[in-house]
Chain A
Amino acid sequence: DAGITQSPRHKVTETGTPVTLRCHQTENHRYMYWYRQDPGHGLRLIHYSYGVKDTDKGEVSDGYSVSRSKTEDFLLTLESATSSQTSVYFCAISGTPRDRGEETQYFGPGTRLLVL
C-alpha cells in the first residue's frame, strides 16, 4: 500500500467551528488531492496540489482551503464548518511507482467528518 495516512480518522464538530484535516505521504510524490465522498455522488475533487505552495481548486472547492508547506503534508481546512460538509474525506497522491512505470493515483484511508 502507498504510504498515505490521514488524521484524524473520525471527527465530530459543531457548525461554525474551524476544522483541519491532515494528509501525510511518505512516497515523495509531487501531486496530492483532497476528495469528498457522499452517497450517490462518488468522489468529487475539492482541491489539489502540484507542489509545495502550489495548489488549485477542484469542482467543489467552496468553503474549503488548503495548504502545502512540505512535500509530505497537505492540509484541508474548513474555515467555518457547515452541516453540508458532513462527508467522508479522502486524500490521494499520484506519481509513478517503480513497479508500474506509469502515473497512478493512490488513496488514503479516509476521514469521516460529522458536522452537527
Chain B
Amino acid sequence: GENVEQHPSTLSVQEGDSAVIKCTYSDSASNYFPWYKQELGKGPQLIIDIRSNVGEKKDQRIAVTLNKTAKHFSLHITETQPEDSAVYFCAASRNTNAGKSTFGDGTTLTVKP
C-alpha cells in the first residue's frame, strides 16, 4: 500500500518568515495530494490540494509543489502569522476517491510573534 513520510515533525519560525513542509510518497499511482491544517481540538481542514496533472498550485500565502518523478510534494507558507500555528498533514490517494488517503504523521508548526 501507500506510504507517506512527512518532515519535519516540528517546525518553529519567526512571524513573517516562510515555512516549508515536505512529504514523500511510495505509490506511483497516487494522483491526489491534499494538505490539511488541524487546530487544537478540531478536525483537519483542507487548505490546499494538488492533482498530478499540475506541478504547482498557489492560493494567497500558501503554495504546493509536486514532483511526480521524485514522488515528493511540499507545502510552502509565506509571510507566516501566529494564526498559522497548527498541525499540518499531507496525504496521498489514488483519486477517484479523495477520501481513501494515506496521511503523513503531521508537522507541528509554531509561528513566534
Q: How far is the CB of A112 from chain B (nearest CB, A)?
A: 9
Report the interface size class on chain A: 20 to 34
Q: How far is the CB of A71 from chain B (nearest CB, A)?
A: 15
Q: How far is the CB of A51 from chain B (nearest CB, A)?
A: 12
Whole-angstrom distance between the alpha carbons of A40 and B106 in the complex? 8
Whole-angstrom distance between the alpha carbons of A40 and B10 in the complex? 11
Are A105 and B101 interface neighbours, CB within 8 A? yes
Q: A42-B106, A103-B95, A105-B34 are in contact. Are A48 and B43 (CB under 8 A)?
A: no
Whole-angstrom distance between the alpha carbons of A92 and B97 in the complex? 12
Are B104 and A94 interface neighbours, CB within 8 A? no
Instruction: Determine whether A41 belongs to the interface, using a CB cutoff of 8 Å to chain B.
Output: yes
- Near B by CB (< 8 A), chain A positions 88-115 give 90, 92-94, 102-110
Are B89 and A42 interface neighbours, CB within 8 A? yes
For chain B, the count of residues having a C-beta within 8 Å of the partner chain is: 24
Whole-angstrom distance between the alpha carbons of A105 and B99 in the complex? 6
Are A48 and B100 interface neighbours, CB within 8 A? yes
Cβ proximity bits A17-55 to B, threshold 8 Å, 1 near / 0 not: 000000000000001010000001111110010100000
- Near A by CB (< 8 A), chain B positions 15-50 give 34, 36, 41-46, 49
Whole-angstrom distance between the alpha carbons of A21 and B8 in the complex? 33
B residues near A58, Cβ cutoff 8 Å: 100
Are A105 and B46 interface neighbours, CB within 8 A? yes
Whole-angstrom distance between the alpha carbons of A43 and B41 in the complex? 14
Instruction: Determine whether B105 belongs to the interface, using a CB cutoff of 8 Å to chain A.
Output: yes
Task: Give chain B's interface residues, CB within 8 Å of chain A.
Answer: 1, 6, 34, 36, 41-46, 49, 51, 89, 95, 97-106
A-B contact pairs, 21 of them (CB 8 A): A31-B97, A31-B99, A41-B105, A42-B89, A42-B103, A42-B105, A43-B103, A45-B100, A45-B101, A90-B43, A90-B44, A92-B43, A92-B99, A94-B99, A102-B51, A103-B97, A105-B101, A107-B36, A107-B45, A109-B42, A110-B41
